Amino acid sequence: MEYEIRQLWIHQDSRQKELWQSLLRSCGIRPEQSISYCAGLYQQNQLVATGSLYQNIIKCVAVQEEHQGGKAVSILLSHLLSTVVGNGYSSCYVYTKPQSSRSFQELGFRELARVENQLVFLEKAIHGFPEYLKDLQKQRIPGQAAGIVMNANPFTLGHQHLIEYAAKENEALHVFVLSEELSAFPADIRLELVRQGVHHLPNVKVHPTGDYMVSSKTFPSYFLKEDSQVAKIQASLDAVIFRDHIAPAVGITRRYVGEEPLSEVTRIYNESMKEIFEGSIDFIIIPRLEQGGIVISASRVRALLAAGKTEETKPLLPKTTFAYLTSPEGKALIQKLKQEG
């Protein structure tokens, strides 16, 4: 019997959403909210398989048991891949259980990293991870090198303090700014503000992360049994990729982070990274910079901007970030923050 692919409008149609959720749960998968496209595979008007996308990430793939091992999976995955390409992406990613990895590898996906027996991260791309690493290798600086990863949403004096501290202790420092478009400040603006804010430090190189360091918003939790697992496994995946690929490309032997005693997720993240890095990368936590007895944070800056208190952000920001906020482009972004806040 022939299969038919249909788009599922799970955010608009409650009936379709119920069918979709029911199929996922029957396969031991939890429904996710971060979905931009959802497809259903039907046979005789019955939903027998489903798969979703968030941008260029495949997620929430579920196939009824009696349709596994046949052509249903390849039809569904081929459709999702075609949709990704049709949406203008040159790369596609998937996080899946180790036992499901082979189905993706048969479609040309390459394994980038895995966490024990819990998660495999794969890529299918024209210019993928090897190209990203080659570009990084070209920017390698001789001597002891350290690394920092940040979102910088936006770049604050706290971020600058962390970078200056690490730059002073090492001959080279590589700063990676998250490339995902999931922040109030666009990725290209965040990257540029970091570059401007460290211009006075000749031994610092600033890089985009590409698709190789993920945020909690795109990291899939749908096949993990408990929420408590999510932060630990995401941190472990990020740490494995950093330890095995990114650090060797530029010679990093130290990773710096800012202390964040109030965040349970950050505590789990830091513990997981320290565990993965043990014996290969020194993991260094430094105290956060304070202003007025309160830690300087990007969230504090965004809250002030949303409240229309731009001038009050001045003591929290490098001159370059504040100059951007008072530019026409920055003012337009602040207006958007106010509307969303």
User: What are the tens digits of pLDDT across the range 198-207?
Assistant: 999 999 999 9
Q: For 73-131, what is each residue's pLDDT tens digit? A: 889 999 999 999 999 999 999 988 888 888 889 889 999 988 877 788 999 998 889 99
Q: For 175-206, what is each residue's pLDDT tens digit? A: 999 988 777 899 999 999 999 999 999 999 99
For residue 103, the model assigns a pLDDT of 83
Residues 230-250 have a mean pLDDT of 89
Q: By the 8 A CB rule, do 76 and 5 touch?
A: yes
Say which CATH class 131-340 falls into: alpha beta
* Poorest-pLDDT segment among 36-40, 220-224, 280-284, 290-294: 220-224
- Say which residue the tokens 């970030």 belong to: 321
pLDDT at 291 over 80: yes
Facing residues of 286 across strands? 258
Instruction: Give DSSP secondary structure letters for 155-186.
Output: --HHHHHHHHHHHHHSSEEEEEE---S-SSS-
- 221 — pLDDT class (breaks 50, 70, 90): low
Could you give the 3-state DSSP secondary structure of residue 70? coil
What is the spatial order of strands in the sheet that 4-7 belongs to? 4-7, 37-43, 46-54, 57-63, 91-96, 119-125, 110-115
For residue 339, the model assigns a pLDDT of 82
Q: For 28-76, what is each residue's pLDDT tens digit? A: 888 888 899 999 999 999 999 999 998 899 988 889 989 987 889 889 9
- 318: tokens are 């490098």
For residue 263, the model assigns a pLDDT of 74
Q: By the 8 A CB rule, do 178 and 150 touch?
A: yes
Backbone angles phi, psi at 237, to 5 degrees: -60, -50
Q: By the 8 A CB rule, do 147 and 174 touch?
A: yes
Tell how strand 294-295 and strand 290-291 pair up. antiparallel
For residue 222, the model assigns a pLDDT of 46
For residue 28, the model assigns a pLDDT of 81
Where are the domains positioned within the chain? 4-89, 131-340
Can you name the CATH fold of 4-89? Aminopeptidase (3.40.630)
Q: For 265-288, what is each residue's pLDDT tens digit? A: 778 888 889 999 999 999 999 999
Q: By the 8 A CB rule, do 83 and 39 touch?
A: yes
Q: By the 8 A CB rule, do 247 and 253 touch?
A: yes
pLDDT at 220 over 60: no
pLDDT at 135 over 60: yes
Could you give the 3-state DSSP secondary structure of residue 6? strand
* Poorest-pLDDT segment among 24-28, 159-163, 223-227: 223-227
Percent over 70 (pLDDT), the chain: 95
Q: Which residues contact 68 (CB under 8 A, 6 or more apart)?
A: none
pLDDT at 324 over 90: yes
